[in-house]
Amino acid sequence: MERLAERRLTSSHDSHDTTEGPLVETLLYAAELVRDDGTYKLVVRDVVRDTVQVTPVPESAVAKLPVFLSALNSKLGSASAPGRR
């Protein structure tokens, strides 16, 4: 059985517009960057397969994360889901 987390989003169109239903966002992966006793780990949960992977991350990579995310956002445009930051 597949387990998926879904969240209904309101359309960017007028709420009285009946041509489209609400958008459905399906969570596939969840990631957290965790600091534990001075070391960093990236914890990625595969929601579909119900598995977790943990990878150590060097502090230098953690420091560059905001720059990396900004570059990724610039390259992909503003394709992020509404309400996500």
Backbone phi and psi for residue 15, each to the nearest 5 degrees, phi listed first: -65, -15
Q: CA 6 from chain center: how many Å?
A: 13
- The pLDDT, as a whole number, for residue 24 is 86
Backbone phi and psi for residue 31, each to the nearest 5 degrees, phi listed first: -125, 145
- The pLDDT, as a whole number, for residue 73 is 93
DSSP 80: S
- pLDDT (tens, 9 = 90+) of the chain, 85 residues, equals 334 445 554 444 444 555 566 788 899 999 999 999 999 999 999 999 999 999 999 999 999 999 999 999 999 886 555 555 5
Say how many C-beta atoms besides its own lie within 10 A of residue 23's C-beta: 13
Query: Would you kindly state where each structural domain of the chain is located, as residue ranges?
Result: 5-75
- The pLDDT, as a whole number, for residue 1 is 30
**Please, what's the largest Cα pairwise distance for the chain?**
53
| Length of the chain counted residue by residue | 85
Question: Model's pTM, two decimal places?
Answer: 0.61
